[in-house]
Structure 1
Amino acid sequence: MPAHAYRDRSFGAFLFDMDGTVLSSIAVTERVYGAWAIRHGLDVASFLAGIHGIRAVDTVRRLNLPGVDPETEAAALLAAECADLGGIEAIAGARAFLSSLPSERWAIVTSAPRELALLRLAAGGLPVPPVLVTAEDVAHGKPAPDCFLEGARRLGQRIEDCAVFEDAPAGIRAAEASGAAVVVITATHAHPMTTPHPAIAGYAALRASPMPDGRLRFTAAAA
């Protein structure tokens, strides 16, 4: 089901996850987290399968490793990610789509810390919106809905009037819990995902048309 399945509905704002949604950072994430997993004697494949869309501190905390401080390890992971921006690139059509949106009608809502988010957006050549919600801005990360609720609040919109663009299960659950409409981006998915939500590989075939009241409506791109 394409995102313009919502063509008969208008939205007050769009909220975008970052990694896997507007840019691909899989290569660096798997390098950094894979090395960390090896150092701690974890099964790399199973560990990497569960990290996407979740704050580093929450990822480490849920492992409950003896003698491991989640805050210290999250800081080390952040430093490693900030130092490695190789292979980061925008999802197809994301730059043009984001640039076409009124700045007061969209936000980036990510589990990455702000420092890393800014570095990755720059590496992907993507615009930075006035509203950027990052890991430091909420007490509870995805799959809790707090980040999307905060994004809508900062934009002055009801969350029920927002569409969330997500790629990872934790982020999708957070968006569902918030009450927003959901669009799933599948560009970085290695395997098909079963989802009841509209799904698209990228943004090349997507347009958002502003209405007289400033709200946004999906339209299909011209062939």
Structure 2
Amino acid sequence: MSVHDNVFDRAFGAFLFDMDGTVLNSIAAAERVWAAWAERHGVDVERFLPTIHGARAIDTIRRLNLPGVDAEAQAAFIAQAEIDDVEGIVQIPGAAAFLEALPSERWAMVTSAPRDLALRRMAAAGISEPAVMITAEDVAAGKPDPAGYRLAAKRLGLEVGDCLIFEDATVGIQAAEAAGAALMIITTTHQHPLETRHATIDSYEPLSVVVDSQGQLHLQKA
């Protein structure tokens, strides 16, 4: 990791968090819903499931280009099915306490999930609703487009380059890189090691934050 990438050596105006895989683990629930949907539509489940993570449902469905499929209607169906199935959703270790320790005006959630689903999953994982939350409905283009992260920073009154983004999935990492922000990658749910120049952690438990007199956030690791 280069000095430029060492997130423990600089101050940030705010932290921006992805949700699924970053502050909570919803993989089992999401894959149950998507696997059933894929089977009904004749999609190869084993090849398809790795592609769903981090992206908006509507973008995932459009990418398949299935004949006769209404992407908006199917995305709405998926969202409702995921709202109805939150079994097994848990926080990433230490995430709830870490978020609670942050000043409310200094962090935001940026998720590819629709708002109702995001709130449902956070409640299931014991994570409080943030003051600023950007969801699937708030952007015309989902990750890997950086629009969501730029919008979150703007709502916090900051430039995105002054923020540290916490991510886990490839499309989210690409969005953060495109936004020009520093990155912390959460590897808790990764099945395979990730080769990256960015900082990585598998739990929030060793992390703490010091807020300086200017309100800037300094990330520390035990």
- Same fold (TM > 0.5): yes
Structure 2 match to 1:144? 145
1:5 Cα deviation after fit: 3.5
1:7 Cα deviation after fit: 1.9
Alignment check: 8 A CA contact 2:7 2:184 kept: no
Q: Distance in 2 between matches of 1:87 and 1:157?
A: 35
Structure 2 match to 1:62? 63
| Letter of the 1:152 counterpart | A
Q: Distance in 1 between matches of 2:177 and 2:6?
A: 17
Q: Distance in 2 between matches of 1:40 and 1:202?
A: 37
Structure 1 match to 2:131? 130
Q: Distance in 1 between matches of 2:113 and 2:33?
A: 14
TM-score of the two chains, using structure 1 as the length reference: 0.96
| Letter of the 2:140 counterpart | A
| Letter of the 1:207 counterpart | S
Structure 2 match to 1:169? 170
Structure 2 counterparts to residues 60-139 of structure 1, below 5 A? 60-139=61-140
Q: Distance in 1 between matches of 2:6 and 2:163?
A: 15
1:202 Cα deviation after fit: 1.2
| Letter of the 1:205 counterpart | P
Q: Distance in 2 between matches of 1:149 and 1:76?
A: 28
For each residue in 1:95-135, what CA deviation from the matched residue of structure 2 results, as whole angstroms up to 9, or x when unmatched? Answer: 11000000000000000000000000000000111101000
| Letter of the 2:185 counterpart | V
Structure 2 match to 1:209? 210
Q: Distance in 1 between matches of 2:209 and 2:151?
A: 23
Structure 1 match to 2:186? 185
For each residue in 1:126-167, what CA deviation from the matched residue of structure 2 results, as whole angstroms up to 9, or x when unmatched? Answer: 011110100000000000000000000000011110000000
1:45 Cα deviation after fit: 1.3
The unaligned stretches of length 5 or more in structure 2 are none
Alignment check: 8 A CA contact 2:11 2:217 kept: yes
Alignment check: 8 A CA contact 2:7 2:182 kept: no
Q: How many equivalent residue pairs?
A: 219
The unaligned stretches of length 5 or more in structure 1 are none
| Letter of the 2:40 counterpart | R
TM-score of the two chains, using structure 2 as the length reference: 0.97
Structure 1 match to 2:37? 36
Alignment check: 8 A CA contact 2:165 2:182 kept: yes
